[in-house]
């Protein structure tokens, strides 16, 4: 695909729907972690917009933010389960309450790898917040502690999610037609 090629994008989740759900998730997370320091771990690149909005929906000062880069070897639309950490956390998470922030759990292979990896670092707790879940493609059952939306088996883009690295900047989630 070239930059000049134009494809229709059909909206699946509007900007408003996403914003409302993110506020609800933030309120729930704030209540659950009240009085505790929380480390939000954004999984790059897909989670960058979700994490930015979610962090602002969690009131209080006990929220730290860190990032981790993951790349899965596979083609543009499928995850292979072989995952590489392309950028690691900047600080140890030993003894910390960690909330992994993901854009989508699809087969679950990426999260299985990451959650196992983080647990070896002895955090106080590790939970998962994912904006989207596509249960129809599940290979590994990953418990999602905070879930934005369950979606059908469609290739979704926007709000951080890409097709060949493009469309991440769309303010809504759509499907390429
Ligand atoms: C996407 C997404 C998840 C993973 C989910 O990442 O952000 O990390 O795939 O797939 P799975 O449940 O089938 O393993 P991608 O490799 O596209 O990288 P990106 O976040 O940089 O877009």
Domains of the chain: 9-176 (3.40.50.2020)
Identify the pLDDT of residue 76. Answer: 56
82: confidence class by pLDDT, cuts 50, 70, 90: confident
Which of 50, 68, 76, 79 should be mutated for ligand 1, with most atoms under 8 A from CB? 79
| Residue partners of 4: CB distance under 8 A and separation at least 6 | none
Q: What are phi and psi of 37, to 5 degrees?
A: -80, 135
70 alpha carbon – ligand 1 mean position (Å): 8
3-state helix, strand, coil in the chain (%, to 5): 25, 35, 45
Query: What does pTM read for this prediction?
Result: 0.93
Q: Can you tell me which residue has the tokens 């707790």?
A: 125
The more confidently predicted of residues 75 and 57 is: 57
35 alpha carbon – ligand 1 mean position (Å): 32
User: Mind listing the pLDDT tens digit for each residue in 117-132?
Assistant: 999 999 999 999 999 9
Q: How much is the average pLDDT of 88-102? A: 98
72 alpha carbon – ligand 1 mean position (Å): 7
pLDDT of residue 69 exceeding 80: yes
Number of neighbouring beta carbons within 10 Å of residue 103: 26
């Amino acid at each position: 695909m070239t930059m000049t090629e134009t494809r229709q994008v059909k909206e699946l989740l509007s900007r408003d729907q996403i914003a409302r759900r993110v506020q609800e998730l933030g309120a729930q997370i704030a209540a659950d972690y009240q009085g505790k320091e929380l480390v939000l771990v954004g999984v790059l690149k897909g989670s960058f917009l979700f994490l930015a909005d979610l962090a602002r929906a969690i009131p209080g000062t006990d929220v730290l933010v860190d990032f981790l880069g993951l790349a899965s070897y596979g083609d543009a639309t499928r995850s292979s389960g072989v995952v590489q950490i392309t950028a690691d956390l900047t600080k140890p998470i030993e003894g910390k309450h960690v909330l992994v922030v993901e854009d989508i759990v699809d087969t679950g292979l990426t999260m299985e790898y990451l959650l196992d990896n983080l647990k070896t670092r002895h955090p106080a707790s590790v939970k998962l917040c994912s904006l989207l879940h596509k249960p129809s493609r599940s290979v590994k059952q990953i418990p999602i502690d905070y879930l934005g939306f369950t979606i059908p088996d469609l290739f979704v883009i926007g709000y951080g999610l890409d097709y060949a690295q493009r469309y991440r900047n769309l303010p809504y989630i759509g499907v390429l037609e």
